[in-house]
Amino acid sequence: LRRAIEECKRVILALPEHSERQKDAVVRLIHLRLKLQELKDPAEDEPNIRVVLEHRFYKEKSKSVKQMCDKCSTIIWGLIQTWYTCTGCYYRCHSKCLPLVSRPCVRAQVSHQAEYQLSICPESGLDSQDYRCAECRAPISLRGVPSEARQCDYTGLYYCSSCHWNDLAVVPARAIHNWDFEPRKVSRCSMRYLALMVSRPVLKLREINPLLFNYVEELVEIR
C-alpha cells in the first residue's frame, strides 16, 4: 500500500493540472491512504488466547487467508492485521473488534441447551425489539433508516446488516412440519448454531410430527 501511495503521488504530479485523470488519481490516493490507516494494527504483542462471552479466541498465525470480521463485517487482511478465531463456534474478528463482541459463543449454547426452535419463523415484530437489532441492539427499521432490518427465518427476530449477512441454512422447523429443505436467510448466530447442531440426534420425530411417516417413504424405511 505504501508503494502504491508513492506511485500514485508520482502519477498525480506527472498529469496535467485540473484534468479528469488527475482528479481520478487524487481520489485513488485518498482511498489508498484511508485503507492504510484502516490496516494499521499495533497489537502484535497481544496474548495468544482471549476469553470473551464464553468464546475462546486464539490469535491466528496464518497471513495468507482473507476472512470477513463477524463484528464489523469488513475484510480481515491477515498479512497486516492481527485477528482471532473462536475454537468453539469459529467466530472471527479483528483484534480491535474483540472488546466490542456482543454475541455469546453458540458452542456453549449447544452444550447447555441442545434443542431446536420448532415453530416456523416465530415472528413477534420489531416493536417487541424496541426497533433494535436482536443481537447488538443497533437501531433498525423496515424502511432501512437508520439501518435495514433483516429477519432471521430460524428465530423470527430482526437483525442489522452486521449481524445478518443473508446466509442461507435449512430451517429444522420447516423440515419437520412441511418436509421443506429449501435454505432460508438466517442471522450469523443462527447459522453457526445450526451448523453445530446438525449432527446431534435431538429430534424425536415420532413425538413432534408422527403423521410425517405417512407421507415420506424414506422416513418409513428409516423407522
Query: Cβ atoms within 10 A of the Cβ of 128, count?
Result: 11
**CB burial readout 17-35, b (16+ within 10 A) else e:** eeeeebeebeeebeebeee
pTM: 0.67
Please list, in sequence order, all residues whose beta carbon lies within 8 angstroms of the beta carbon of residue 201, skipping any fewer than 6 positions away: none
Please tell me the distance from the alpha carbon of residue 175 to that of residue 23, in angstroms, as a whole number. Answer: 56
Give whole-number Cα distances, 15 to 12, 22, 154, in Å.
Answer: 5, 6, 56
Q: Are 25 and 18 in contact (CB under 8 A)?
A: no
- Which candidate, 129, 196, 134, places its Cα nearest to that of 162? 134
Residues lower than pLDDT 70 in the chain: 37-46, 62-65
pLDDT given for residue 63 in this prediction:
66
Q: Are 157 and 127 in contact (CB under 8 A)?
A: no
Q: What is the DSSP letter of 197?
A: H
Please list, in sequence order, all residues whose beta carbon lies within 8 angstroms of the beta carbon of residue 186, skipping any fewer than 6 positions away: 152, 153, 154, 155, 164, 167, 168, 169, 171, 194
End-to-end alpha carbon distance in the chain: 61
Could you tell me the three cell numbers for 117? 426452535
Task: Looking at the chain, list the stretches that DSSP marks H as alpha helix, in order from N- to C-terminal side.
Answer: 2-14, 20-39, 106-112, 172-178, 188-197, 205-208, 217-222
pLDDT given for residue 180 in this prediction:
92
Please list, in sequence order, all residues whose beta carbon lies within 8 angstroms of the beta carbon of residue 17, skipping any fewer than 6 positions away: none
Please list, in sequence order, all residues whose beta carbon lies within 8 angstroms of the beta carbon of residue 154, skipping any fewer than 6 positions away: 117, 121, 169, 171, 172, 173, 184, 186, 187, 190, 193, 194
